[in-house]
Structure 1
């Protein structure tokens, strides 16, 4: 099918653009996977019904969906398929709406996640001398996210546990312990990765909007070329 120079340029720009979107989808999956792993490291401070890993999992699924749609966009551009391009633009527009809603919800819900995590940690920390399971949970959190004590290492007094120090350290005391308290470290993890998820998702949505415009323009040019060929 013969396209004019402008339409041909849009065709190849759209192809390259969708390659970038596919890479962006992989990036979303990677960030979501890292966030899911980090949140999993502190899952013991949450109650069973809190589901703090929902949003990282949703971002992973969204990244996979973007990758698939970008693949169809590449195929539609190269094959000059009006049907594929229209389907691509519609699906991408739906994904953009979902991304914006998810980003807003992550930003708003992030505060609730932090408060839930703080309450869970306070409950576990307060019961460390009563229940052995609480002490084991604290040790696990300290080892995993490299923190010590609730606010400061000296929250343990002079009896700083081994979990407060690097496993390769020969001794473990206040001098060699992790310097940040677990409460602050948990807050940092939930805040930082929620921000990464939200802002990367919004950036991707803006980029994908350009893809929708290019897809519609190319589809329109293909339709016009078909009419002129008869």
Structure 2
């Protein structure tokens, strides 16, 4: 099937574009995995059914779909398959919509997730003298997030738990303790993870929209060239 110069250029641009999209899909999976790990570090502060891990899990799934669809886009461009290109453009357009919806949800519910996490932390912190489970959760969070106390290490007074310091420290005291409190650190982790997910989703959606346009253009050129043969 012969394509004119412009269509041939679109073909190779689309192939290179999909290689970039495949890398972007891997980046989405990596960011989603990191966000899932960070949120998992403070899972104790979330009530059952309110864990926000669904958002990074969703972004991992989208990243995998982007990678697979980009592969089909590469095949469609190289083979000049109108069927594959139409399917590629349709799937990519659906992904664009999903990623925009995900970004909107993350922006809308970010404050609610932060409030829920801080409320859960306050509940654990206020009950730290009531049983070993709360102390265990606090120590786990302090080690994972490298924080100490609720708002500052001074919340403990003079005697600090070992989780307030680097594991390699010979002794834990106010001089070597983590200076950031866990309450602001939890807020930062949730907010930072949400921003990474939302902004990367929007960037990838915009990039993929360009791919939809190129895919439709190449498919149209293939269809037109087949008519004149």
Q: TM-score range by the shorter chain?
A: over 0.9
Aligned partner of 2:164 in structure 1 is: 164
Uncovered stretches (5+) of structure 2, i.e. residues with no partner: none
Measure, in 2, the Cα distance between the counterparts of 1:84 and 1:52: 36
Aligned partner of 1:32 in structure 2 is: 32
Give 1:52 deviation, angstroms: 1.5
1:100 alignment partner, SS class:
helix
Aligned partner of 1:137 in structure 2 is: 137
Deviations 1:3-24 (A, max 9, x none): 0000000000000000000000
Measure, in 1, the Cα distance between the counterparts of 2:163 and 2:51: 26
Give 1:203 deviation, angstroms: 0.3
Measure, in 1, the Cα distance between the counterparts of 2:4 and 2:139: 67
2:16 equivalent to 1:5: no
Aligned partner of 1:121 in structure 2 is: 121
Give 1:48 deviation, angstroms: 1.4
Aligned partner of 1:196 in structure 2 is: 196
Give 1:131 deviation, angstroms: 1.6
2:40 equivalent to 1:55: no
Please, what is the CA RMSD of the aligned residues?
0.5
Aligned partner of 1:225 in structure 2 is: 225
Measure, in 1, the Cα distance between the counterparts of 2:88 and 2:15: 12
2:48 equivalent to 1:71: no
Give 1:144 deviation, angstroms: 1.1
Measure, in 2, the Cα distance between the counterparts of 1:163 and 1:155: 14
Deviations 1:52-77 (A, max 9, x none): 10000000000000111100000000
4+ residue segments displaced more than 4 Å: none
Deviations 1:138-193 (A, max 9, x none): 01110111000000000001111110000001111111000100001110100001
Measure, in 2, the Cα distance between the counterparts of 1:29 and 1:17: 19
Give 1:91 deviation, angstroms: 0.5
TM-score (norm 1): 0.99
TM-score (norm 2): 0.99
Measure, in 1, the Cα distance between the counterparts of 2:51 and 2:146: 23
1:110 alignment partner, SS class:
helix
Give 1:51 deviation, angstroms: 2.1
2:129 alignment partner, SS class:
coil
Give 1:132 deviation, angstroms: 1.5
Uncovered stretches (5+) of structure 1, i.e. residues with no partner: none
1:32 alignment partner, SS class:
helix
Measure, in 2, the Cα distance between the counterparts of 1:77 and 1:51: 41
Measure, in 2, the Cα distance between the counterparts of 1:46 and 1:174: 29
1:2 alignment partner, SS class:
coil
Aligned partner of 2:214 in structure 1 is: 214
